[in-house]
Amino acid sequence: MKYQRVLLKLSGEALIGKQAYGIDPDQLNQYALEIKKVTDLGITLAIVIGGGNIYRGVQAEQSGIDRVQGDYMGMLATVINAMALQSALEKIGLDTRLMSGIKMDKVCEPFIRRRAMRHLEKGRVVIFGAGIGNPYFTTDSTASLRAIEIEADVVLKGTRVDGVYTADPEKDPAATRYQYITYSDVYQKGLNVMDMTAFTLCQENNLPIIVFDMNKPDNLLKLIHGEEIGTLIH
């Protein structure tokens, strides 16, 4: 296997599936099955999931809600998604732990690095909810930070697009996909991969990022085997 310990970043919007909003059970179950294929190989897996299908902090400012308050609302949305994913994973036989950046001991454990490492060593899938527990930080930043903390080999950013393009492929039909690209090229070309805080964390710690289409069956499994899926940023 090319990667032994991975941090999988999932967008909340991807959980909408065929619905108008919220969580599509079919999409949730598909993700759970894709994750099980990987953990069955003995790969250590941690997950960060966004909350955009329920609420985004940036919506708060548009609706007149204070930015900090809105960011905390967004963090709670990620916990809802994390709980749904945890339930779907456990339903198909995986052992999981949900750890939160905000203390809410009725539903999840507080994030403690040593405890997270121990869960991973025992083969549990660890889901990180509520971001890092502070406003002004995105779930991309959470994914980068947690990946560094748990000593992951790579950040796998699962999206609805099959990699990083020269332009938005949904708007520009001439856009082409990068197979490989360096951190500095992403900066210079102004490509939208992650927010700068998240991206800089990965760059400074030499942590590779792979952007890929999570909705295509077996893509996650192929990446673990070392197949060149999506775009590798290194």
Go through the domains of the chain in sequence order and give each one's CATH number: 5-160 (3.40.1160.10)
The tens digit of pLDDT for each residue in 185-219 reads: 988 888 888 888 999 999 999 999 999 999 999 99
The conformation of residue 51, written as its DSSP 8-state character, comes to -
Residue 146: what residue type? R
As given in the structure block, the two tokens for residue 196 are 């700068």
**Contact (CB, 8 A) for 182 and 191:** no
- Per-residue confidence band for 60, with pLDDT thresholds at 50, 70 and 90: low
**Contact (CB, 8 A) for 128 and 155:** no
Q: The whole model's pTM is what? A: 0.94
Q: State the average pLDDT over residues 60-88.
A: 90
Nearest-angstrom CA–CA distance, 225 and 37? 12
The tens digit of pLDDT for each residue in 82-126 reads: 999 999 999 999 999 999 999 999 999 999 999 999 999 999 999
